[in-house]
Amino acid sequence: MKSTISIATFILAVLFLTSCSSIPPSTKAPTALAGWHSLPQVARACGVKSSGWQISREGANLTTSRHKIRLFAESRRMEVNGTLVWLNAPLTAYPTGSTRFFLSPADAADLNTLHQQITSRLPQNKSQRFFTVMLDPGHGGEDSGARSSITGQHEKDLTLDIAKRIGTALARDPIQVVIIRNDDFTMSLDQRTSIAAKNKIDCFVSIHANSAANLNAEGFETYILPAAGYPATNGGEIREPGIGNKWNPANLTLAYTIHNRLVKLGYADRGLKRARFYALQHSTCPAILVEVGFLSNNREARLLNTPAHRQKIADTIAAGIRDYAR
């Protein structure tokens, strides 16, 4: 009996030491950040050497042959190959002011997804049928959306025009494009998500244009749902998961694939952001919302009023969808 106890104690001690040795004490999340991931843990989960991080009090950089990731201390800002992606929660140092940084569980999972997308391209189309994308031109009919005081252009007309151009751009691809509103009529948000839910679609892309009191505001924004339990990028309440949270990794992959291309057109990158928009919250497939520029900004309003610029945006979104559908 005595020897049984000592053997059991020995086995427990070995198990304890083994489990401890797999996570060095220096990388273990403190109680205050239980479940958070240290940067070496994040690197290992991605299959990258943890020594790849260059860490200073200002933040951390991870450079591999395929990507460069920049994180900033106590900030939700992250740059992935030069594209701005807003984290769910700030990169947090513990103790405060130190270089021991931790990422929230949702952001560690997102970073892993982005890493896989960049290095191996995750296959999204697992079905035998055609990949189907539903395009949602924002507003319509009685709801004009924003109106540019510079050109007089209505957001509802701009979004429909771009959606049709995306449809044409993808006409020769093995991709079925469904435009939820193919003319100028009123459609509620609930009608849109209900139609999307009734159809077998692989992704949902909502198209909008911005308008702001600050006339200097400009650039592209692409939105996905925040992870459950985290606030939106622009603040607001923390909520329970929406239906759309089921697609968290794919939401991010779809958004990154398109946003990363849009910002290469040379206009301001306002980032891949997170918000609880109705269409995203209630989506039954991976969903994003793209803001294609500011109707309130003099330069962008004039550009958005030209067919050539709208075609450029449509071709870029189409290329992102094509890449995602592979």
C-beta pairs of 50-59 under 8 Å, 24+ apart in sequence: 55/99, 55/101, 56/99, 57/93, 57/97, 57/98, 57/99, 59/91, 59/101
Q: Is 259 in the site for Zn ion (CB under 5 A)?
A: no
> Could you list the active site residues?
291
Q: Is 138 in the site for Zn ion (CB under 5 A)?
A: yes
* Residue (145 or 320) nearer to Zn ion, CB: 145
* Residue (40 or 138) nearer to Zn ion, CB: 138
Q: Which stretch binds Zn ion (CB under 5 A): 26-34, 35-43, 55-63, 134-142?
A: 134-142
Q: Is 208 in the site for Zn ion (CB under 5 A)?
A: yes
CB of 147 vs Zn ion, minimal distance in Å = 11
Q: Which stretch binds Zn ion (CB under 5 A): 26-34, 89-97, 138-146, 215-223?
A: 138-146
Q: Is 140 in the site for Zn ion (CB under 5 A)?
A: no
CB of 34 vs Zn ion, minimal distance in Å = 39
Q: Is 137 in the site for Zn ion (CB under 5 A)?
A: no
* Residue (139 or 309) nearer to Zn ion, CB: 139
Q: Is 145 in the site for Zn ion (CB under 5 A)?
A: yes
Q: Which stretch binds Zn ion (CB under 5 A): 1-9, 41-49, 112-120, 145-153?
A: 145-153
* Residue (138 or 320) nearer to Zn ion, CB: 138
Interface residue list for Zn ion (CB under 5 A): 138, 145, 208
